[in-house]
Amino acid sequence: MATSRWTAVPARTFSPRRRGPVLERAILDAALDQLSTVGWSGLTMEGVAAGAQTGKAAVYRRWPSKEDLVVQALRDGLPRLDGVPDLGGVREDLLQLCRQMRVTMFSRPGFALRAVLHECDATTAERFHEVIFEGVIEPSVKLIKEVLRRGIERGEVRSGGTEAFVCDVIPAMFMYRTKVCGSEWRDEEFEALIDQVMVPLLRP
């Protein structure tokens, strides 16, 4: 009597189809991954689609160009600068704020942003300068002013210590030494910036 033989077929596993915000998050994460590995010049919409495990059309439907895609990935991904805790003195408050800025600029999106600014041409870079101003510079200046206003109230900071150029010093030095000098901003560098520049500048 013939016996029938059955060949076991492995069960096919299906991954749920992603839509809406879940798919968009996957695409934006893939864009940041591409920037971290191949840089701005090597990033392609096809590579991002492959990294997000979706079709190229799904990327282009949302972002017509890689500039549009990267701008949103950076805007959404950069860590937000929160309010500076009141540690009882301007020096410590400013040091804490500097550390928060370091977290933002040395995060994965921050690294990607710096890579973009180094690689792309001047015209394209203009779009990303807006991202860094909105995501890092403007919030930093706002928090610096808050710290200095408290210092004025305590008598630690001279009257007028919140002038625009004074509040620009830390972000300007941070961006210059990060982009031009390649500084990693160790704590001792922050201390030197505060003690040698900011404290003498702010002293009543």
What's the CA gap between 62 and 148, in Å, rounded?
42
pTM of the predicted structure, to 2 decimals: 0.78
In angstroms, the CA 168 to CA 7 distance is 72
Q: Quick: pLDDT tens for 107-159.
A: 888 888 877 877 877 777 777 888 888 888 899 999 999 999 999 999 999 99
166-196 pLDDT per residue, tens: 999 999 998 888 877 878 889 999 999 999 9
C-alpha span between 87 and 124 (Å, rounded): 41
How confident is the model over 79-92, as pLDDT tens digits? Answer: 888 788 789 899 99
What is the distance between the alpha carbons of residues 170 and 174, in angstroms, rounded to a whole number? 6
Handedness of CA 46, 107, 184, 150 (dihedral sign): positive
Q: Give dist(CA 42, CA 91) in Å, integer.
A: 42
Which domains does the chain possess?
20-76 (1.10.10.60), 79-202 (1.10.357.10)
